[in-house]
Amino acid sequence: MFERLIVEEKKKKEEKNEKLLANLCECRLILCHGYVSDVFISICVPCFVKVALSKEESEKTRKEVEMALLALSCIKGENHIEKGSYLKGMIEIIKYHQENHNLTHLAYQSAWKFLIDRFQNDLTLKKVIMNELHFVREATRELEELSKSVNCNRKGKEENETAKNVPN
């Protein structure tokens, strides 16, 4: 049923509701646990990438972007969709986040997971990671943030324990 609604919405020339299409695709993907047909993928992947490319800064838009990226990361199996049709968009999403830090950790990891799952045996992604996405620099930055967080948590616990041990 969802696939029929998705295909009908995609075929509309005028008054196509992109938000409805994205929501239908997300629902269908969740219901089928990530395994979907190539036809479905050829409709939904570009739809999700389009949603995720939104640079609007509202809370609602950020949630839509996160859901689109999360849905992309849930796609399982080998799909026969042309990789070039979404690689450029995914690179733009990741690069924009690296510059603006606009995504949550979950959304950012979902974008990477989708790319890595699709290109794990492809030299194209290796070149993109090294030359455009600066994966090592990003991983280093994230590790530094994580270590700062861990250090802050330790310091807070130590201060609490010291405060408890001080007699009144």
User: Using CA atoms, how far apart are residues 114 and 68, in angstroms rounded to an integer?
Assistant: 11
pLDDT one-digit tens code per residue, 41-88: 788 888 888 889 988 888 888 888 888 898 888 887 666 667 776 888
The pLDDT of residue 26 is above 70: yes
Quick one: pLDDT at residue 15? 64
pLDDT digits 0-9 by tens, 104-162: 888 888 888 888 887 777 777 777 777 777 777 777 877 888 888 787 777 777 777 77
pTM over cut 0.85: no
